[in-house]
Chains A and B, each alone.
Chain A
Amino acid sequence: MIDALIIFSVLLILLFLRLPVGFAMASVGTLGFYYYTSWQGTLAMIGQIAFYTPMSAEFAVIPLFVLMGNFISRAGLADELYAAAYAWIGHKRGGLAMATILSCGGFSAVCGSSVATAATMAKVAMPQMRKFNYQDSLATGAIAAGGTFGILIPPSVVLVIYGIMTSTDIGELFMAGVVPGIIGIISYVIVIAIITHFKRDIGPPGERASWLSRFRALRNVWGVLLLFIIVIGGIYVGFFTPSEAAGVGACAAFFFALGRGTLTWKTFFELLSDSVQTTAMLFFILMGALIFSNCINETGMPETLLEWVKGFNAHPIAVVFAIMLVYIILGAVLDSMAMLLLTIPLFFDPVVNGLNLDPVWFGIIVVVVTEISLITPPVGMNIFVINTVLPDVNTGTIFRGVTPFWIMDIIRLIILVFFPAITLFLPRMMG
């Protein structure tokens, strides 16, 4: 146990020295594994991990969903989602921010990444909110928080990785994300209504659209709806497996982008190359995490944790809350993917085998805390990405704006922990 804590501390130090996440985990994992075994054995272990990790047909789901999200952004579907949400609720106080949340939710239904959702919606929603004199903190806070739905509402790259690492059915995980995602959307809209009720000037109402134009705007979101039905509906009724759905979804999104005349050869290759880079980046972290987890495995910490959880005699919910607390602390300072890959091998066994809790439910809980980590200072990826898209808004303002949403996230997390049925009833109805 002491060994493992030392190893974790060294890792954290390397991370803060700005060593890339994958490299940090791989180097600590390598040295640690060498300490417990032999140099030759360590080399063999790394070689096999490096060769076999990417050689997985299941993992093809990752580049394909990333590609689908990229094609969708290019096809301009985000603009139409926003326009539709605006037409319906833009005229309310804080309505543009609410529209941002709704369109973030819609975009999340076709994009598997939170950072991509936040980046896309920042470009679409920010100019409108600026036009109506929204305070930057509310505007960017809504985008940052709404963007987190990318990994909860299916498709989700994070759920795919969780599913593969823990052998949990990805289709079931996807279905389990739907209801908590919808609850998230509603809760954020409530947050905006409350804030703008007390601070009336930070989110003035936008233009009122006629009923005719509202329905006309709705007509334009069919693209997103169709894609969601093909991909997630296809998985739900069992028409195809998640990796097949990802391929079909990417292909359909490709034709959308093509049909709208938004693809030139140049942008086409940009989108593909961008997806390749995201994939390589994710896999490097993944390989680092596997090497690191092999080293932690040698320390005996997983067994110790399992014994501890079993012997502790605490109510399972108490253990889950303790784990959530660890996640929120780690999530403050770590990149979300790093946090996820570090902790799943450690916590999954004690929770699922030690306490007999449902792996699908636990996956969703983990994703919700990961969402929280994306908007928790000091390291909140969604905040950073908005800062990149809108360099004139400083990160302090965004963090301030996201705080009420963060508080609502914690409440949502507690509800999901206490009522597993909210998460589980949809996947249970499936197949």
Chain B
Amino acid sequence: PNAKAGQNLRYATWDPPQHEWIKFGVDRWIKSIGKVTEGRVNVRKLAKGLGAPPAYHDFIKKGAIDVAHIIPAYTPGRLELHKVAEFPFLAASAKARTVAYWRVYEKHFKKVNEAKGMKLLNVGVHGGGLIHNTKRPITKMSDLKGMKLRVSGDNVAGMAKGMGATPIFASILKVHNMLSKGVADGVFLTFEGVKNFKLGKLVKYTTVPPGGLYATVFQMYMNQKVWDGISDKDQKLIESVSGEYGAQFLGAAWELADKNGIKHMKEMGIKITPMPAPFVAKAKAIWEPLQAIWMAKAKEKGVDGEAALAMMKAEIAKVEAGQ
């Protein structure tokens, strides 16, 4: 009794429905599928998620859900290539990162078929990650000494360690509790995160590294069998509102989220300061060896990492210039 491919597809996520990325990004995509295929393909969003976020990779691959997004960082060891869009000091703009990443994917990663059994439809990258804290303004690296900072991935954990802070890994939903209890002094997070996870009353100081200290990639996949069951005509139509086109508005949704986040932070009186140049230079030095690790992994997968990174930077510049 499969919901026959090409008719009604099911989408599910653990993300809250009111988040900009869902409300103005994913929901818009879902609506556009029905519209562009004139109702031949419809995506239905389930009221609730199916399980733990890391489980979604297998949910899609094995067909528990037809289409959904995953966060590759939640299942370390499975996917590597996406990390090029998560590098520090690349772009503050979510839209620039998202669109550039999709272009890099098309050119360099698509042929490798890293996630077998799944069809990549869309990507999303959130805006550049910042350092928020409840204690003091961070203007030089030594200010971070001994601070307990919540991190979300291994690269940013490596950065935190290198800068003298103590990384704590925890679900984003726990951050409010951790900050209010002093279990953590700060958090690596976006502008939007402060608003969406209700941290505005807790965070006092925010340091903004140029181009962000990290980012997190979201990838929306469809189960391959389900995809193959859709007619060629409808596949083309779906692709016409996904990929590059999707990246434009999915990135814009993240961008809007950040805009709302900045507004909220200003209202809350949070002190937002750019990361001073000497600090940036030191942080970049810490990043170098971590970047080399990725280059090696990309090579293992048969990808020219240097070329991909160069293209990423070039495309970001193009998007920021309005192309």
Contacts and interface: CB of A to CB of B under 8 A. Distances in A.
Contacts of B177: 169, 171, 241
Contacts, number: 89
Interface string A147-178: 00000000000000000000101010000000
Interface string A236-251: 0011110000000000
B63 interface: yes
Given A48-B51, A238-B180, A349-B47, A37 B3 contact: yes
Q: Which of A40, A41, A55, A306 counts the most B-chain CB atoms under 10 A from its CB?
A: A41
A238 B182 contact: yes
Contact of A45 (B2, B3, B51, B178): B51
Contacts of B65: 41
Interface stretch (B25-33, B54-62, B83-91, B93-101): B54-62
B150 interface: no
Count class of interface residues, chain A: 35 or more
Q: Which of A55, A293, A294 counts the most B-chain CB atoms under 10 A from its CB?
A: A294
Contacts of B62: 40-41, 43-44
B310 interface: no
B180 A44 contact: no
Contact of A52 (B48, B55, B178): B55
B292 interface: no
B1 A44 contact: no
Count class of interface residues, chain B: 20 to 34
A405 to B, nearest CB: 35
A361 to B, nearest CB: 18
B47 A44 contact: no
Given A37-B63, A241-B177, A290-B51, A48 B58 contact: yes
A184 to B, nearest CB: 27
Contacts of B54: 52
A303 B54 CA distance: 25
B176 interface: yes
B2 A38 contact: yes
Nearest to B63: A41
Nearest to A293: B48
Contact of A167 (B47, B63, B64, B173): B173
A297 interface: yes
Interface string B45-77: 011101110110011011111000000000000
Given A45-B51, A239-B181, A349-B48, 14 more contacts: A34-B1, A41-B64, A44-B61, A45-B50, A48-B50, A48-B58, A56-B52, A169-B177, A238-B180, A238-B181, A238-B182, A240-B183, A293-B48, A431-B181
A-B pairs, top 3 by smallest CB distance, nearest first, are A44-B62, A48-B55, A41-B63
Interface of B: 1-3, 10, 12, 46-48, 50-52, 54-55, 58-59, 61-65, 173-174, 176-178, 180-183
15 contacts: A37-B2, A37-B10, A38-B2, A45-B59, A47-B58, A55-B52, A167-B173, A169-B176, A241-B181, A293-B48, A297-B47, A297-B50, A302-B48, A306-B47, A345-B48
Interface of A: 34-38, 40-45, 47-49, 51-53, 55-56, 58, 167, 169, 171, 238-241, 290, 293-294, 297-298, 300, 302-303, 306, 345, 349, 431
